[in-house]
Amino acid sequence: MAVARDLTRAMLGFGTMLRAAGLPVTTGALMDAVRALEMVDLMERGQVYLALRTVLVSRMEEQPGFDRCFEAFWKFQADDGQGLEGLVAAVQPRGSEEEPPTGGMEGAQQKQTQIALEDWDEGEAQEGEPLEVPGQSDRELLMEHDFSTFPVEQLDEVARLTVQIAKRLARRVSRRRKPTRRGGVVDLRRSMRANLTRGEIIELRRRSRRRRKVRLVLLCDVSGSMDLYSRFLLQFLYALQNVFGRVETFTFATRLTRVSELLRGPSYKSALRRLTEVRDWSGGTRIGDSLRDFNREWGHLVDRRTIVLVLSDGWDTGEPEVLAQEMLSLKRRAGRVIWLNPLLGNPSYEPLTRGMAAALPLVDHFAAAHNLASLRELAGHLTIR
């Protein structure tokens, strides 16, 4: 009995470590872990490791983090010295405590944007308050404004409009999917029901094949000024979420980060705030390398029913050949590849950067996504064929 209690306590501690390392471990899983440990030889490290891994890891990518934690945990259980808190800090993934460099003009500017965005997010917290609805003409005005030109106070309002537009679009799409009286395949089950009194089937009931939902993969450039646009695009697409089978989101500047899980939480807004923390500030954008990382590790998420959206201004500090090659590999597998470049909203802009020039021939659709009107227009392109 005492052993079981000790095991439970040890597992709860281990669970804290795993969560600190980023593994989504539930209490239920920890209880299963206790049960699993009762099935194996506790003196044998190999068995304890395999049993805990089977129960507590739920995708291959979590395995390295788990291994790190288990290493520390086993050592800790063995020589029982340090406090658990020190242990938790020890296994935290490296890089999270890195301070962003704040040198130079550009750095200062970025810092400012960051502060502004944080302010905006804080404002989002009071959700209960009804917000003033702007008049029709005001709204039309907002539609055409570039996101970056809004004062911080207005961002809130614009975000709300974004979601509103998305929801309207979502309704339109779902109506389109209602079953028709004609066409489709015969629904025998309902036909039988409808014709029970007649002795034979006179009236056929039909059902149309359910439209298979399109999946979305978003690759958002969050370096410097692109961050603001990423947020609006994300807000827009997540409000549209139920139209799509699934939305997978990645951010990149110099390295790729998967943020889907972050955004799937109950509090979407606080998750958006957390995106700021994920961001890497070390200068430059390596689009090609980020895409290569995506293709290598997450390529299995892309198929013919997937639309890949890349949001970036195309300022790539890497080699354009790499970008072109990875775009080609993406295009081969995806149903559609859309590149969004907010700079396109500026009438005098021409896609002359080396990166953009390399990527452009491999893109199915090239659009701006710099204001509400362009987001609304984008929705029309989010279908395959």
What residue ranges bind another protein (CB under 8 A)? 24, 26, 28-29, 32, 35-36, 39-41, 44, 46-47, 50-51, 53-55, 57-60, 63, 188-189, 192, 196-197, 199-201, 209-210, 212-213, 215, 245-246, 248, 260-261, 264, 300-301, 303
Amino acid at 131: L
How near is the Cβ of 214 to another protein at its closest, in Å? 12
How near is the Cβ of 37 to another protein at its closest, in Å? 10
How near is the Cβ of 315 to another protein at its closest, in Å? 28
Please choose, from the candidates 59, 49, 58, the residue with its C-alpha nearest in 3D space to the C-alpha of residue 14.
49
Give me the DSSP letters along 119-171.
HHHHHHT--SSPPPPPPHHHHHHHHHS-GGGS-HHHHHHHHHHHHHHHHHHHH
The phi and psi torsions of 218 (rounded to 5 degrees) equal: -105, 130
- Rounded distance between C-alpha atoms, residue 238 and residue 247, angstroms: 8
- Judged by CB, which is closer to another protein: 219, or 372? 219
How near is the Cβ of 113 to another protein at its closest, in Å? 32
- Rounded distance between C-alpha atoms, residue 138 and residue 369, angstroms: 20
Residue 256 · residue 250 · CB < 8 Å? yes
Residue 323 · residue 291 · CB < 8 Å? yes
How near is the Cβ of 224 to another protein at its closest, in Å? 29
Place of tokens 């063995």: 78
Pairing between β-strand 215-221 and β-strand 246-252 as defined by DSSP bridges: parallel
How near is the Cβ of 382 to another protein at its closest, in Å? 17
- Judged by CB, which is closer to another protein: 36, or 287? 36
- Judged by CB, which is closer to another protein: 47, or 154? 47
- Taking CA atoms, 160 is separated from 34, 135, 166, 260, in Å, by 46, 14, 10, 21
- Judged by CB, which is closer to another protein: 140, or 321? 321
Q: Please report, in angstroms and rounded to a whole number, the separation of the first and last CA atoms in the chain.
A: 63
Which token pair is 39? 């099935």
- Judged by CB, which is closer to another protein: 152, or 192? 192
- Judged by CB, which is closer to another protein: 168, or 264? 264
- Judged by CB, which is closer to another protein: 121, or 248? 248
- Judged by CB, which is closer to another protein: 14, or 315? 14
Q: How far is CA 211 from the centre of its chain?
A: 24
Residue 211 · residue 177 · CB < 8 Å? yes
How near is the Cβ of 234 to another protein at its closest, in Å? 18
- Judged by CB, which is closer to another protein: 176, or 300? 300
How near is the Cβ of 93 to another protein at its closest, in Å? 19
Query: Residue 248's beta-bridge partner residues?
Result: 217
Residue 369 · residue 311 · CB < 8 Å? yes
- Judged by CB, which is closer to another protein: 241, or 317? 241
How near is the Cβ of 337 to another protein at its closest, in Å? 18
- Rounded distance between C-alpha atoms, residue 135 and residue 142, angstroms: 11
Spatial neighbors of 212 by CB under 8 A, at least 6 apart, are 245, 305
Amino acid at 53: R
Residue 257 CB-half CA count within 13 A? 21
How near is the Cβ of 226 to another protein at its closest, in Å? 25
Q: Is 309 helix (H, G, I), strand (E, B) or coil?
A: strand
- Rounded distance between C-alpha atoms, residue 331 and residue 219, angstroms: 14
